[in-house]
Copies of this chain bind each other. A is one copy, B any other.
Amino acid sequence: MTASPASPAETDWLHLDRQICFSLHAASRAFNGVYRVILKDLGLTYPQYLVMLVLWEQGDLPVKKLGEHLRLDSGTLSPLVKRLEGAGLVRRERSAQDERSVRVMLTEEGDALRERALQVPRRIMRATGFDLGEIADLRERLDQLTTALDAAALAEAEREAG
């Protein structure tokens, strides 16, 4: 078999793919792991923390809007919000104007948790070992990747349907 330095041989693509998807998969889980440890103090999981961050920043929101901010659907959010409600951090209230809509509102306790959460981001930053610039750069790449991937997934899905 001859060497092909320009583009990898057919077979090597799988090896490459293994490296790439493993890296992202592992990074995501590692991130999740650090958040899990740090958030244990607050009694939150990582996705629950994401929901709380949105509520602290945006104020009360209907489930639908929450889902748009986080790209999560009701299948994920409904039980998650229910657990936050069980923890006393959040109330749910069906809208009077539109009875389909359910507004998720911070309780006093949920609002108070924000103070304790203020320490989280710096502990995460320290854990990454990255500075602000590196994080911003990584974030930009990831967002770029996400945009491209979402578009591609849509195209693939349509290729199948249409």
A124 touches B27 (CB 8 A): no
In the complex where A57-B14, A118-B14, A153-B37 touch, is A142 in contact with B24 (Cβ < 8 A)? Answer: yes
- List 28 A-B residue pairs with CB atoms under 8 Å apart, sorted by A's residue number: A13-B122, A17-B53, A17-B124, A19-B139, A21-B49, A21-B50, A22-B70, A23-B139, A24-B142, A25-B47, A26-B146, A27-B146, A27-B149, A28-B28, A29-B71, A30-B146, A31-B149, A33-B150, A34-B153, A37-B156, A38-B156, A127-B152, A128-B145, A128-B148, A128-B149, A129-B152, A130-B148, A138-B145
Q: A27-B28, A27-B149 are in contact. List 8 more A-B contacts (CB 8 A).
A: A11-B118, A13-B121, A14-B117, A17-B121, A23-B139, A24-B31, A30-B150, A37-B153
